[in-house]
Chains A and B, each alone.
Chain A
Amino acid sequence: MNILQTGQGELVGWHDPDEHRAWVATHKSRALKDKRTTVQEAVAQYVPNGALIACGGFGHIRVSMAAVYEIIRQRKRDLTFCGKTAVHDSDVLIGAGCVSRIEVAYAFGHELRGLSPASRRAVESGRCHVVAEISNAGYQWRFLAAAMGLPSIPTRVMLGTDTLAQSSAKVIEDPFSGKPIALLPACYPDVVLMHVHRADRYGNCQIDGIVIEDFELARAARRLIVTTEEVVDEDVIREHPQRTLIPYYLVDAVIEVPYGAHPTLMPDLYYFDEAHIGEWLHLSKTDEGAAVYFDRYVYTVEDFAAYLELIGGKEQLEYLRQVEHLEAPLRAPWLEEKK
């Protein structure tokens, strides 16, 4: 095989496909068993220090913040993060000192809201190290390769760029077309955190709206922690099996956490909490401010229900439902500043 170029980025999350098969054979049960647990137990059991972690969703969309906060609360350290369009999750995890290494498709920004003060400070001061670059499509195809049990997948992204030069991809001459093609290595995160609309006790999951890359990511994950708006009866799943995105054998833990994606958006249920995201962006301008944020919303908070009271309780949650349903106007601190 003629290797035309080798990216200099660190290869994270790769396993030989036979090694992965053997791991699956011994670690992933095919038994239909009740996997309901608590976020505390799931994080304690499946998120060791030093693990490679990824979150489902996209940017500020459908992120399992309940699990993210628990990782911060348990003061996990030296995590490597899949920055696969990672925005609020990576920003708070880096800001809290949990993540010290990141592979970046998109991070350190909050889209229209501006750049992330906490994680940019960490990268620019060397506290968090960027181990490799990649693109959004490239990252989800790394997960697709893993989902398929392949060592790599050929694609036509990143060719000719520094993004490829700093990635873990290799360029070869495609034996069919004779053209250069980028081989993206499979990526198997040690643990994936994902928030879904509904799941049964075994872990069969349904997601409403765009699925982004969660089909691939759920299948690439070695351990998959699912938080769900509701745990439904098995019959609800079996009546519409075509709606199951994630079958139970991929899932290791199921936790019912209503509003578990707050302050990120949960399609059809609640919109971004711009007041809360704005508070984080404001406080995280300094390390001291970030510490105030974590004390206020994570370390001193007993559980997610107590957190929901802190962010405004029922009234705020009802407002977020109305904004999602276009029944109330959006209020956002960053928008006020623009006016």
Chain B
Amino acid sequence: MNQDYNPTELLAYVAAGLLEDNKSVFVGTGLPMIAAMLAQRTHAPSLLIIFEAGGIGPQVPVLPISVGDSRTFYRACAASSMHDVMSAGQAGYVDYGFLGAAQMDPYGNLNTTVIGPHDAPKVRLPGSGGANDIGSFCWHTIIVMRQDQRRFVEHLDFLTTPGYLDGPGARERAGLPANSGPYRVITQLGLYDFDEESKRMQLLATHPGVTVDDVQANSGFELIIPDQVGTTEPPPPQVRRILREIDPTGMVIGR
């Protein structure tokens, strides 16, 4: 592919574009952190960044490598606690949350616990961590993951973190906060949202150079493909410059 940006820069740019100014976001390490910092340095200077270990509103100097790293409460509004920030999430103060996963199903439910049976795992993954909390509490979650037929699956090996469960109204029936849930999915191939009626994933836009066929071929379930599918905008040079300032060593963005 003839392009002057790398794929991670594109993902960071697309993710940053989803975050509105004067809203709050739970972030982890890696790409979500980069996306939130990029949003702050472009269109969303007052984006409130919250870390699950207790960092609230930091002025992050360099990329943290852990969600409890001192950089997550550097010049922060508050160096608080997990109880405080998770309660804020439960009470409705957190607008966005980022999630990743090893597997996702059409309703945006996620698996980060185990591949194979729970009692005899083929691969043991780290578990929920804060993911279930973020997926339960945030108004809108943004899922960033690689897609292929093994990762986009009709049925998860283990449902770690709730998306829309089995469809419309299921979150509310289960007792989860009303009107919350997955908002967007970003993969190396495109950007997705969820169909209002069925709560199943649908394609919003493909990345430059990617076809609708590529997208469906790399999914283990049937994606909703609307008549109109957009193309994501590549990161302009000034955005790529900011990304290099945020991650000078290429820890997340790469070279």
Residues of A within 8 A of B (CB): 57-62, 83, 85, 104-109, 111-113, 115, 120, 123-124, 130, 133-138, 140-141, 144, 155-163, 166, 171, 174, 179-182, 209-216, 265, 267-268, 271-272, 324, 326, 329-330, 332, 335, 338-339
Give the residue among A85, A134, A180, A182 with the most B Cβ atoms within 10 A. A85
Knowing A160-B171, A160-B174, say if A120 contacts B124 (CB, 8 Å).
Answer: yes
Query: Do B177 and A156 touch (CB < 8 A)?
Result: yes
A158–B118 alpha-carbon span in the complex (Å): 17
Partner of B132, one of A135, A212, A215, A267: A135
Query: Do B158 and A162 touch (CB < 8 A)?
Result: yes
Query: Do B126 and A108 touch (CB < 8 A)?
Result: yes
Shortest C-beta distance, A242 to chain B (Å), equals 14
**Residue B30, interface by CB 8 Å:** yes
Shortest C-beta distance, B105 to chain A (Å), equals 12
The size of the chain B interface, using a CB distance under 8 A, is 62
**Residue B170, interface by CB 8 Å:** yes
Query: Do B124 and A160 touch (CB < 8 A)?
Result: no
Partner of B66, one of A130, A163, A166, A272: A272
**Residue B154, interface by CB 8 Å:** no
Shortest C-beta distance, A186 to chain B (Å), equals 15
Shortest C-beta distance, B58 to chain A (Å), equals 10
A/B interface sample: 16 pairs, CB < 8 A: A112-B252, A113-B65, A133-B127, A137-B133, A138-B133, A140-B82, A140-B86, A155-B90, A157-B132, A159-B162, A159-B174, A160-B171, A162-B118, A210-B73, A213-B82, A335-B251
Knowing A106-B129, A141-B83, say if A158 contacts B136 (CB, 8 Å).
Answer: yes
Knowing A156-B136, A338-B251, say if A213 contacts B69 (CB, 8 Å).
Answer: no
Query: Do A160 and B52 touch (CB < 8 A)?
Result: no
A158–B81 alpha-carbon span in the complex (Å): 20
Knowing A58-B68, A210-B73, A211-B54, say if A162 contacts B136 (CB, 8 Å).
Answer: no
A60–B79 alpha-carbon span in the complex (Å): 17
Query: Do B159 and A163 touch (CB < 8 A)?
Result: yes
Which chain A residues border B162 with CB–CB below 8 Å? Answer: 159-161
Which chain A residues border B250 with CB–CB below 8 Å? Answer: 338-339
**Residue B202, interface by CB 8 Å:** no
Which chain B residues border A134 with CB–CB below 8 Å? Answer: 128
Query: Do A163 and B113 touch (CB < 8 A)?
Result: yes
Partner of B161, one of A141, A161, A214: A161
Query: Do A105 and B54 touch (CB < 8 A)?
Result: no
Other than the given A85-B129, A106-B129, A212-B68, 16 more pairs (CB < 8 A) read: A58-B67, A60-B68, A105-B127, A112-B65, A112-B66, A123-B124, A136-B129, A137-B132, A141-B83, A144-B83, A157-B133, A160-B170, A161-B132, A267-B73, A326-B61, A339-B255
